[in-house]
Amino acid sequence: MVDFYSPAPGETAPPVPEGPTLCKADDMRVVHNMFLFVFGEAPGLIRSTADWDARRAELVGAWLADMQSALHAHHTHEDETLWGRLEERAPGCALHVGQMRAQHAKVAELLHTIEPRLAEWRRDGDPRTRDGLATAYDGLLDLLKLHLRREVVEVMPVAAKVITGEEWDAMAKASQGDIPFTRQLALLGYFIAGSPRELVAPMVAEMPMPLKLLYKLLGKRRFERQWRELFPGRPVPATM
């Protein structure tokens, strides 16, 4: 089985600086896996919603809106804190960083067109809005598959060598800080469920104990309830 995070024919990676690994940039796979799961499910969830089923449209739409906010926060803090440091410290990566910036701009443009259509569909479940919305999410998914894969394959190996652990952790905390804490707890379920256990387990082990306790007390229940509503009949993934 070919790893999703593999270069496609014709793609070239920048030179990776020598020296020790400074940060856990490979953790980005777990973050990206969550977004790939969410936006991979989006077109089907929308298309399977019955005509004028406003309750179901609101359920699906609210979930997608929350995940889009998380994606926006993730990209914003990469734009603000990661790309400039990479260009400065690893000039050989500048071309690839430019591609990442351009892909972020395209994602933002697609989300800008999706958001009002999603809000409209959430109000009444109009099938005319639904079908065009699902097609828009098809396009978003295609772009995310390209961007999220190439970021991990081409840019993260360089980041691991030139971004300090403190800088990496600060970027992650800033992204999380843009998301209301109650949403973070449910989001954590998708974060854990979206990746193979062997990949996500080290990250879970390093989470602060208060966060783990709050997830077990509150977040896990919210995640499992939402999962059953979104994916009726599908087994709920184990998290903690």
Structure confidence by residue, pLDDT tens digits, 7-32: 999 999 999 999 999 999 999 999 99
Q: Is the dihedral of CA 137, 143, 146, 148 positive or negative?
A: negative
Q: What average pLDDT does the segment 69-79 reach?
A: 97
The phi and psi torsions of 163 (rounded to 5 degrees) equal -105, 125
> SS3 for 20?
coil
Tell me how far apart the alpha carbons of residues 183 and 176 are, in angstroms, rounded to a whole number.
10
Q: What would the two tokens of residue 59 be?
A: 């359920």
Question: pLDDT (tens digit, 9 = 90+) per residue, 218-239?
Answer: 999 999 999 999 999 999 999 9
Cα–Cα distance, 96 to 210 (Å, whole number): 38
- Structure-token pair, residue 131: 């079908």
Q: What is the mean pLDDT of residues 94-119?
A: 98
In contact, 129 and 117? CB cutoff 8 Å: yes
Residue 1 has pLDDT above 50, yes or no: no
The full set of domain ranges for the chain reads 25-178, 180-240
The CA–CA distances, whole Å, from 52 to 48, 97, 123 equal: 12, 43, 9
For residue 96, pLDDT beyond 80: yes
DSSP 4: S
Neighbours of 19 (CB within 10 A): 9
Q: Is pLDDT at 187 greater than 90 in this prediction? A: yes
The pLDDT score that the predictor gives to residue 84 is 98
Tokens of 65: 């809106």
Contacts of residues 39-43 at CB distance under 8 Å and 24 or more positions apart, as own/partner, are 39/67, 39/137, 39/140, 39/141, 39/144, 40/141, 41/230, 41/231, 42/134, 42/137, 42/140, 42/141, 43/134, 43/135, 43/137, 43/138, 43/141
| Amino acid 232: pLDDT | 97
Give the whole-number percent of the chain exceeding pLDDT 70: 99
Q: Which residue has the tokens 């995310």?
A: 144
- Under the banding of pLDDT at 50, 70 and 90, the label for residue 182 is confident
Classified as helix, coil or strand, 1 is: coil
| pLDDT of residue 181 exceeding 90 | no
pLDDT over 90, % of the chain? 94
Fold of 25-178: Four Helix Bundle (Hemerythrin (Met), subunit A) (1.20.120)
Global pTM value:
0.95
Q: Residue 221 and residue 225: Cα distance in Å, rounded?
A: 6
Q: pLDDT per residue over 54-67, tens digit each?
A: 999 999 999 999 99
Residues 6+ apart with CB under 8 A from 233: none
